[in-house]
Structure 1
Amino acid sequence: MPFRMILSFLCLLCINQAIADVRLPKIFDSHMVLQRNKPIPVWGWADAGEKVTVELSGSGITKQSKTIKAGKDGKWILRLNAAEAGGPYQLVVKGKKNVLTLDDVLIGEVWICSGQSNMQWPVSASDNAEEEIAAASYPLIRHFEVPREISLAPKDDLSKGEWKTATPENVGQFTAVGYFFGRELYKKLGIPIGLINTSWGGTIVETWISKEAMKSFNEFSDVVDAMPVSMDALGEKRKTTLTNAINELQGGIPASGDVQSWSSASFDDSEWKTIEVPGNFDRKDFQYLDGVVWFRREFILPDSLTGLSVALSLGTIDDVDATYVNGIKVGGTASKTATGRIYILEPSQLHAGKNSIAVRIEDFGGRGGFTGKPEDVKISRGAYEQSLAGIWKYRIESYTNNNQFAGPNDAGTLLYNSMIAPLIPYAMQGAIWYQGESNAGRAYQYRKSFPLMISDWRNRWKEEFPFLFVQLASFNANNGDSRKGSSWAELREAQALTLQALPRTGMAVIHDIGNPKNIHPTNKQDVGKRLSLQALKIAYGQNMLSQGPQFQSMQKEGNKAILTFTDTGTGLIASGKYGYLQGFEIAGADKVFHWAKAEIQNGKVVVWSDEVANPVAVHYGWADDNMEANLFNKEGLPAAPFRTDTWKSITEEVRFK
């Protein structure tokens, strides 16, 4: 072969190798669901100026084929024509060098499922999990889980992800609220349902808002200006916050010699702080703390067990422990294990009367602490049990400098950038949202920050799509109530006010199916069902009752307050076996609330207390734990908690920093 021909061949080979493959975002994959009855955006990357052809075809659909030329930056986007629900179809994307073929593509209803841990909560940890998983034969319900990552700048793609079909093999890891919501829609609509699960436990609303939207809100503007410019800087900021918190708690990290006495029975721990056991020590004051923490408490050995061996149960511990009783090491684990810690205490290790326990826990990463159930933390022998759950003393020995110093709550926008921006402009019907627990301390500001996030997402998608959310369930977070204030009640109020602030929003009220002792109530089936009622009315235009009674107005008649409600359906009822209303309180001008009697009369609720001669305000379900509130309509939907006053909130001055 002549040299000139060889040279030409090599040049052509180099040119061909330089041509990049046409590429799609990770959200586009086989088994995906595309939104029906709306133009279908398809986008990706190729060489600058390269022609890209997208084809959608299959039995029962008119074949579509559209071509677009990539821009100078290599990006391209086109929109296929809107199509009716159906499938399976094939989506083919052709470039100069390669062809991408996506099979088993459905067209139906797509919903974004977002929020914190109660949205992330999987089917496998929900009520009747075994039965639900075994019965999950819904080939037309698909689920895509967005990877949990943070970013200081908007990302154009996800790092990974795949669409999975609702089968017994897959459904256990689906978002439970999303799955049960989607299943209800599927049963009512009979068409494919796509669920995009973009959620992260423990996260605040501010991290889900774009930088531009945060900048537009004057209360966030200075915070945005002070945001770190790199992940390293973000990590240093978090490290500084953690270090300052430890210094404030205990004056810093102790010297190694000091720690040696912490297991001793005679050690004086009177200056140690207290913590609830079981619980994660790195999820409140010391978020993302990885390292070593000591815990201490005492128990009384009854005379009947003197001279006998006793079982010490600590439940599961994350990650490893060394456990001491009266200064003697009685057990421990050298590597991470999910099994419960049960150590047998011999008579020689115990004292009559008072005994001390010291537990050294080392957390390598992720959650750390006592992670079992309260009933698992105890001493026992035979039928005798003594609970050790409750208040323990604790002190931090050390912490590890690792990448967890940069977390999703360390600045605004971090999850919008990494878990929302890459999804835009994927066509969808709407969003469901379960979040707020982590914002309860700033409940008053949530009145603005939550609607800001919703409007931000709508602006980004350029569509006023339905946005449906879950009001906080009953949970005894801080024993909050009308007398000393309740941040959870104020957060619920902020959520309810969002319904007035923005159109096409809906709220599922679930205080009756919460768990006062567990921030993660496991009845996700009814949560999904109540969200689906809102969707059927708001998104699909069905003329139906979608929610429980909503407070409308109050009138006074003597010492009684007369309350009227909307959404009463076929009538108001008091749920429960006793047949009388609970959860109502009433106050006069002194702002002191008293438990009230309440009756349903002629479709209204009459509230009074012998201790309040001239009522000024009524509260209903105004507490962290508002499980007892039991006003429903006959259709079985609970009334939303409310207050009739506008007196100063306990969270009114607290701001995001």
Structure 2
Amino acid sequence: MKALTRFVFFFLICCFRDSQAIVKLPRLISNGMVLQQLSRVKVWGWGAPAEKVSVTFNGQVYDTTTGEDGKWITTIATPKAGGPYEMKIKGTNELLVTNILVGEVWLCSGQSNMVLPLERVKEKYADVIAATDNPLIRHFFIPTRFDFNVPLDDFQSGRWETATPENILRFSATAYFFAKDIFEKYNVPVGLINASVGGTPVDAWISEDGLREFPGSLALLNQVKDSSYVNRIRRQENAVSREWYTRLRRNDEGMNGPVKWFEADYDASGWKTMNLPDFWDNQGLPNTKGVVWFRKEIEVPASMAGKAARFFMGRIVDSDSVYVNGRFVGTIGYQYPPRRYQIPEGLLKPGKNIIVARVINTSGRGGFIKDKNYEIRTADASINLAGLWQYKLGTRQEPLADVTFFQYKPAGLYNAMISPVINYGIKGVIWYQGESNTSNPSGYKSVFSSLIANWRQKWNQGDFPFIYVQLANFMETKSQPVESQWAQLREEQRLALGVTNTAMAVAIDAGEWNDIHPLDKQTIGKRLALAARKLAYDEQKLVSSGPLYQSMQIRKNKIVLSFSHTGSGLIAKGAQQLKHFAIAGADKKYVWANARIKGHKIIVWSHEVKQPLSVRYAWADNPASANLYNKEGLPASPFSTDLN
């Protein structure tokens, strides 16, 4: 018995040692990955301390040994673009990574406009999506995670996916259109590593040591390092939110009467009417938070009856639940996604049909966003839903208190979503972010420049290309020159071009006044790819940008502006005259100005300003009429001469 006990004891020890000796890989190094071509790239992982590990790739063997912490790393040489290849990793155990391509790898990062998947723009790009089946374009989406205390070395989930019909709707739309253009130009595999999170300010993506010049960010980071503080705030805010919604449900007359307001046979004859789409405080419900019910009777022709249909309800602030003939057809819990619901076969009937929307508004202005799609559509017919709707207040409540988005705090996303990537060889970065910094745009250039330097230092690949999107046009247009935080942020982005090996895609003609997430991601992706072709792939003769302001000269009552990237010439796109130039004297009071093209320069003046000192162009949240382009069709960046 004693001998058997000793045998079992030593057997268990050996099993424990073997389990500790299992070589493991990070999630990025997995089946279907894309490696940067013609480079020396790192392969890394974990094992037992002092364990010998070999990596075999493309006929070469690379040997290494784990350190005392069990980590190992080696550097391998990659050939020119091609594949598929296999990689064998051998320690005590053996791993095989298959279906590896070698090509161009780009890190895609920023906030929601980089997150936004092709699924959100599938109606606009239905033909592109239907034609997409390219296993040489691959996408690794990193799930949202943050950590304020330590840089992490791996992700909890994530995998490489190919641009096939089964996967394509999950790809970042901006990143996909970028990759599509790169692939079509160079015929090489393209790998996209997508580390992006909606709503995030720039300092969330910088490491702690990269924030040393920004004491405010460091102080905030030190505060949220205290997990007890974070957990306490979360518990308090969750309790407030639960209580608010519980009270809302309890007091909502539409859900608590003998007949629910969404039911088809409910008598709504006493309800008032409202013209939609619009905010409801414009039409009889000022300063109202809570639940408002909307109801509309429509006539369905026999040709549509019984058929499956798509139900488009534009965008709604904040959340909604929609019913057709008393049957629930869909819900969205926050304001930004488009409302696109499916009406099943057999639900629409010929003649009278009832549409009901229960809308919850927690803060700000509740209602339906204008200039969006409101219709029921079958394959061959549609019913317009805009116009008069009946409405009734379900319950009124005070605004719901704001919650703390901890993923927005400094360094948290760097630690959890960028740190695990820094060993992975990349060609460069494409970046789409800035909307969340518009409330305080001053100094964005400094923080953003620090992010670029921070990432380059961490990757230790030199000054790799960093290409970013300037903010698109957004919000309502103004008839007169005004101050604009969005314009200030765009100027900070333009000035960041002073950082080595950077480029910027101008987007002031690709936005939408009523949507912070414009649908036109193809234009953005193409302009990023155009910049990459020149900056990263050395097409030196390529005109890759619209005009960028360089300098000014005052000549009596006029200012002469000089530009780079004028291409084969400047034009006033779509009009006889240049628009959206403003001029000011010493008083800084800007007025609309005359502007004309003279060669590769622009002369600006106004009879109202006798001694001009500065000029602004496209200086607005939404400079929709701005029309300075080069002949290659690329828009000029907004600028202000008095901020340089």
Answering whether residue 130 of structure 2 is matched by residue 134 of structure 1, we say: yes
Instruction: Give the CA deviation at 1:14.
Output: 3.5
Query: 2:544 maps to which residue?
Result: 546
Paired position in structure 1 for 2:210: 213
Rounded to whole Å, the distance in 1 between the matches of 2:628 and 2:249 is: 60
Give the Å deviation of 1:518: 1.5
Candidates 459, 462, 466, aligned match of 2:460: 462
For 1:194 and 1:374, how far apart are their aligned partners in 2? 36
AA partner of residue 67 (structure 1): D
Give the aligned partner of residue 105 of structure 1.
100
2:181 corresponds to which letter in structure 1? Answer: E
Matched residues in 2 for 1:91 and 1:397: separation? Answer: 60
Partner of 1:497: 495
- Deviation by residue 1:455-482 (Cα, 9 ceiling, x = unmatched): 11111111321110000011117x6797
**Within 1, Cα distance between the matches of 2:372 and 2:330?**
24
8 Å CA contact 1:584–1:597 kept in 2: the answer is yes
Aligned-pair CA distance for 1:41: 0.4
Supply the AA of the counterpart residue of 1:41.
K
Retained in 1: the 8 A contact 2:115–2:197?
yes
Asked if 2 retains the 8 angstrom alpha-carbon contact of 1:293 and 1:360, the reply is no
Aligned pair partner of 1:179 in 168, 176, 180: 176
Residues 238/597 of structure 1: CA separation in 2 closer, same or farther (3 Å cut): farther
What amino acid is aligned across from residue 474 of structure 1 in structure 2? N
Corresponding residue for residue 630 of structure 1: 627
Contact 2:136 2:189 in 1 (8 A): yes
1:113 partner amino acid:
C
CA distance in 1, matches of 2:573, 2:30: 47
RMSD over equivalenced CA pairs, Å: 4.4
Are residues 1:523 and 2:524 paired?
Answer: no
- In the superposition, relative to structure 1, how do residues 383 and 461 fare at CA in structure 2: closer, same or farther (>3 Å)? closer
| 3-state secondary structure, aligned to 2:28 | coil
SS at match of 1:441: coil
Q: Give deviations 1:175-220, integer Å, cap 9, x for gaps.
A: 1111111111112222111110111111111111112212343343
What secondary structure, in the 3-state scheme, does the structure 1 residue paired with 2:538 have? Answer: coil
Compute the displacement of 1:489 (Å). Answer: 0.3
How far the C-alpha of 1:569 sits from its partner, in A, is: 0.9
Cα deviation code 1:372-408 (max 9, x no counterpart): 7765789xxx999646799x9996469799xx85531
The answer as to whether partners of 1:277 and 1:374 remain within 8 angstroms in 2 is no
> How far 1:16 moved relative to its partner?
2.9
Secondary structure in structure 1 of the residue aligned to 2:643: coil
Say if 2:315 and 2:372, in contact at 8 Å, map to a contact too.
no
CA–CA distance in structure 2, aligned partners of residues 455 and 65 of structure 1: 34
1:143 to 139, 143, 146: 139
1:260-298 CA-partner distances (Å, limit 9, x unpaired): 799999xxxxxxxxx98499xxxxxxxxxxxx9604599
Give the superposition deviation at 1:73.
1.1
> How far 1:552 sits from its partner (Å)?
1.6
Instruction: Quote the residue 2:434 is aligned against.
Output: 436
How much has 1:227 moved relative to structure 2? Answer: 2.8
Residue number in structure 2 paired with 1:610: 607
Q: Percent identity?
A: 38
Q: Does 1:189 align with 2:186?
A: yes
Query: Hey, what's the Cα distance between the residues in 2 that align with 1:4 and 1:397?
Result: 75
Asked if structure 1 preserves the Cα contact closer than 8 Å seen for 2:253 and 2:395, the reply is: no
Q: Distance in 2 between matches of 1:611 and 1:584?
A: 14
Distance 1:150 1:192 in 2: 30
**Structure 1 segment 37-76 matched on structure 2, within 5 A:** 37-57=38-58, 63-76=59-72
Name the residue aligned to 2:262: none
Shift of 1:79: 0.7
Compute the displacement of 1:137 (Å).
2.5
Aligned partners of 1:31 and 1:105 also within 8 Å: yes
How far does residue 139 in structure 1 lie from its aligned partner after superposition?
2.1
Distance of aligned partners of 1:408 and 1:480 in 2 relative to their CA distance in 1, 3 Å threshold: farther
Partner of 1:114: 109
CA distance in 1 between counterparts of 2:139 and 2:593 reads 47
CA distance 1:510–1:374, shift in 2 (3 Å): closer
Deviation at 1:124, TM superposition (A): 2.7
Alignment of 1:184-333 (within 5 A): 184-230=181-227, 232-237=228-233, 277=279, 294-295=290-291
CA distance 1:566–1:93, change in 2 (3 Å): same
Gaps of 5+ in 2: 258-267, 269-276, 282-287, 296-311, 333-339, 349-355, 376-382
Show the counterpart of 2:580.
583
Shift of 1:430: 0.6
**Residue type matched to 1:32 in 2?**
M
1:395–1:608 Cα change, 3 Å: farther
Q: How many angstroms apart in 2 are the aligned matches of 1:94 and 1:583?
A: 64
State whether residues 218 and 410 of structure 2, in contact with CA within 8 Å, keep that contact through their aligned partners in structure 1: no
- Give the TM-score normalised by structure 1: 0.77
Distance in 2 between the 1:42 and 1:163 partners? 16
- For residue 554 of structure 2, the aligned residue among 550, 556, 560 is 556
SS at match of 2:442: helix
CA distance in 2, matches of 1:245, 1:592: 46
- 1:487 aligned to 462, 485, 488, which one? 485
Distance 2:88 2:457 in 1: 30
Q: Could you tell me how far apart the structure 2 residues matched to 1:213 and 1:430 are?
A: 19
Unaligned runs of 5+ in 1: 58-62, 266-274, 280-291, 300-312, 324-329, 344-356, 648-657
CA distance in 2 between partners of 1:472 and 1:316 (Å): 21
* Alpha-carbon distance in structure 1 between the residues aligned to 2:60 and 2:512: 51
Q: What SS does the aligned partner of 1:14 have?
A: helix
Residue 122 of structure 1 aligns with an amino acid whose one-letter code is P
The 2-side partners of 1:90 and 1:11 are apart by 37
Distance 1:166-1:374 versus aligned 2 partners, 3 A rule:
same
CA distance in 2, matches of 1:495, 1:102: 40
Q: Secondary structure at the match of 1:512?
A: coil
Residue 113 (structure 1) shift:
0.5
Contact 1:214 1:224 in 2 (8 A): no
| Pair 1:511 & 2:527 matched | no
Match of 1:16 in 2: 15
Q: Check 1:359–1:42 CA distance in 2 against 1; reply closer, same or farther (3 A cut).
A: same
Give, as a single letter, the amino acid of the residue that structure 1 aligns with 2:441: A
Contact 1:587 1:615 in 2 (8 A): yes
The code of the aligned residue for 1:186 comes to: F
Q: Counterparts of 2:2 and 2:493 in 1: how far apart (Å)? A: 75
In the alignment of these two chains, the number of paired residues is: 578
- Higher mean C-alpha deviation, range 593-602 or range 369-378: 369-378
Residue type at the aligned position of 2:157: K
The SS at the match of 2:406 is: coil
